[in-house]
Structure 1
């Protein structure tokens, strides 16, 4: 019997990593022949932008093109039924699935669940009866969060109902295994389940004629731009950056406004070079076989460090701009691709076995 699968994950925020990982897991499952969709639970934004009138209206109008592109990107992936609150999901869920999966991103981190740093039971599949649905976790992450004594009993109760558990960080797996007393598999982020050719199918072209170094940052923008500027000046390229502002950041030549996830993919795939301090930026640079620098992110470097160590590219993670001169301009991806293929196969084996057994 063909399994019908529902995925709960953080997909409604205007965040490239969230949208792309949600798309990736669902698309991978469909490629494998499953009837799969993302359960369309619209969570409260983690850090909503609150502006006084009339700035609130201006912000919504300005941001509408980006909002529209995000919704278009995931339109064919999400369920037709929408749950606009936790109460709707907890009290009204009766999805026609055999399997429900808590997907990736930091769904188990209370600071990311849209509940003012409280546990959100939706992302622990508490809305789904264990008697009706098989529960699986694929790369569900706690981030750097450490559960306190009051939270552990709830987390344990919910996760004990899972048939298979996995996360995407070693530290998270170790923490969970400590109080669950069972194995938690470490797997790849879903964006790495799809290869470069499969991602190209989701691109949307951006009109850009110049050769460019792409900046993709999470916080600490000035540092990443400085790295990109040094690379661009060496080769005679432009520095390009996705932004939501009219005025380009100092040091940036090409200010590309209001991109959605499909435009993100195109810009990564067609860049001459990537400078990023984001895990997902690093992951897409590796997946697209782009020459890149991953700038060490001060507050959460572990995921990029782990990925690059696993594929043999640790030297591309820098904390000193002067170390650029020590790097080769061209990366030989032969061995990294071989290692990534092995990691991908291991993660695929876990996921398909979890669904079928």
Structure 2
């Protein structure tokens, strides 16, 4: 609630809330731990898809009963799609809890390959590495909701999920060299005073898509910032961020764009990357096809087919 007193955060919050209400099919009432087991009867739900993102990351969420399908109504009526363990740190005790929770699922689509062998070994259900759900769609799909161009000037989009002074300095360097302004999505409020610099934390979903689509270059430490730069064929660099490196590196391997992840010693040598996006999107299309097939198999399991 303290954060919502800040105008940009408040505006962003209301835009996302509007998006949820307008675009999502929602339950008729709110469910909590106290009444969740009644959801199947109340809402005529026959199964659950748990995902995506780092729902299996104990460092971030613990062993959340919803994420691990641990409510009675979910057990053996759930699958996971694009679930991620992040950069996991399990102990002997937490591995025991994990092994128990894994038995709640009928299938696992995991976003990273890191834990595929472990989950395969400790369950007797289908397990497959799948792509993030944002890659199941194409830029044509996102264009249906993206706003028109918001900035008339050429600009670099700086999207920072966590403050990184080296990333910020590089963005300023490359923007100055090319005569671009910087549009920044972050909470670094002091940057608003910088010349040729516009803060845009209040961007909603539709505005975010537009800002990526029309950027001359995207500099980010966000996993999904990177994904949408690729969706819209934008030159980009992605910087390291704690608990995100595994998922970023694996996805860059799929794209065959590992050189777009920045290490500290590279910064002085970086120029705007030239990317063969035709080849990148061919690789994505292959994984999109197999991931959709796996997801359909999971949904058929939930329907008893």
Q: Bin the TM-score by the shorter chain.
A: 0.7 to 0.9
Does residue 355 of the first structure (1) align with residue 299 of the second (2)? yes
Which residue number corresponds to residue 46 of structure 2?
98
After superposition, residues 279-298 of structure 1 pair within 5 angstroms as 279-297=223-241
Give the deviation of 1:181 after TM superposition.
5.9
Q: CA 1:229–1:61 in structure 2 vs 1: closer, same or farther (change >3 Å)?
A: closer
How many residue pairs get aligned? The number is 296
CA distance, structure 1, for counterparts of residue 236 and residue 133 of structure 2: 21
Gaps of 5+ in 2: none
RMSD (Å), alpha carbons: 2.7
CA distance, structure 2, for counterparts of residue 91 and residue 308 of structure 1: 42
Give the deviation of 1:178 after TM superposition.
4.2
The superposition leaves residues 298-346 of structure 1 with CA deviations (integer Å, 9 ceiling, x where unpaired) of 5532222111111221222221212314x64x32211111111111111
Q: CA 1:201–1:144 in structure 2 vs 1: closer, same or farther (change >3 Å)?
A: same
The superposition leaves residues 98-124 of structure 1 with CA deviations (integer Å, 9 ceiling, x where unpaired) of 3310020111223333xxxx3111111
Gaps of 5+ in 1: 1-48, 50-55
Give the deviation of 1:246 after TM superposition.
5.3
CA distance, structure 1, for counterparts of residue 145 and residue 217 of structure 2: 21
Greater alpha carbon shift after TM alignment, 331-340 vs 81-90 = 81-90
Does residue 180 of the first structure (1) align with residue 180 of the second (2)? no
When you count helix as a share of all residues, which structure comes out higher?
A: 2
Say which structure, 1 or 2, has more relative contact order (CA 8 Å, 6+ apart).
Answer: 2
The alignment partner of 2:53 has SS state of coil
- State which of 19, 28, 47 in structure 2 corresponds to 1:73: 19
Which residue number corresponds to residue 46 of structure 1?
none
Under a length normalisation based on structure 1, what TM-score does the superposition of the two structures give? 0.74
Which residue number corresponds to residue 155 of structure 2?
212
- Whether the 8 Å CA contact 1:141–1:167 is kept in 2: the answer is yes
Does residue 318 of the first structure (1) align with residue 262 of the second (2)? yes
Q: CA 1:288–1:184 in structure 2 vs 1: closer, same or farther (change >3 Å)?
A: same
- State which of 100, 109, 119 in structure 1 corresponds to 2:63: 119
- Whether the 8 Å CA contact 2:9–2:201 is kept in 1: the answer is no
Does residue 138 of the first structure (1) align with residue 81 of the second (2)? yes
CA distance, structure 1, for counterparts of residue 142 and residue 66 of structure 2: 29
Which residue number corresponds to residue 35 of structure 2?
88
Give the deviation of 1:351 after TM superposition.
0.5
Q: CA 1:261–1:82 in structure 2 vs 1: closer, same or farther (change >3 Å)?
A: farther
